[in-house]
A = this chain, B = another copy of it.
């Protein structure tokens, strides 16, 4: 098993293909990590979520870390870690960015956007308040693990 560093270009390519990842935020040095649907485009990771603890925490502390994996087998994988900053996309000032995020995410997660729309019809709006946000990727690193020589 060999573990080697990925180039910046490889990291960005893996981000571009990703549809899910794990988003870590922190509040008073208590970390919190959750899985999330996402879409990367041109330096930004776009996310669509419902209001909850992570949104509260990121509003207070915008420093976040996102982890992406592609796992072919237990000994054949890549992992990319992106450090960045949370930026919320409220209406109306971010209408264009919201439309862009929605477009990118719908391509990957059509069912999810629809599911949320259905939930909103059945529940008080506050309970499932949708939040669009994006993360500016300040730095990215990655590793590739693979078994050498078919071992």
A35 within 8 A of B: yes
The count of identical subunits is: 2
A94 within 8 A of B: no
A60 closest partner in B (C-beta): B29
Quick check: A22 and B33 within 8 Å, CB to CB? yes
Question: Which of B30, B65, B112 makes the CB contact (< 8 A) with A33?
Answer: B65
Q: Please, which residues of chain B bring their CB within 8 A of the CB of A30?
A: 26, 63, 65, 83
Q: Please, which residues of chain B bring their CB within 8 A of the CB of A63?
A: 29-31
> What is the distance, in angstroms, from A78's C-beta to the closest C-beta of chain B?
10
Quick check: A28 and B31 within 8 Å, CB to CB? no
Q: Please, which residues of chain B bring their CB within 8 A of the CB of A19?
A: 74
A31 and B25 in contact (CB under 8 A), knowing A1-B112, A74-B111, A75-B111? yes
A72 within 8 A of B: no
Interface range for A: 20 to 34
Q: Chain A at the B interface: mostly helix, strand, loop or mixed?
A: strand
Q: Please, which residues of chain B bring their CB within 8 A of the CB of A66?
A: 33
CB 8 Å contact bits of A47-61 with B (1 = contact, 0 = none): 000000000000001
Quick check: B1 and A35 within 8 Å, CB to CB? no
Docked CA distance A61–B65 (Å): 17
Closest 6 CB pairs of A and B: A1-B115, A24-B33, A24-B31, A26-B26, A26-B31, A24-B24
Residue pairs across A and B with Cβ atoms less than 8 A apart, 5 shown, are A27-B29, A29-B61, A31-B65, A32-B81, A34-B81
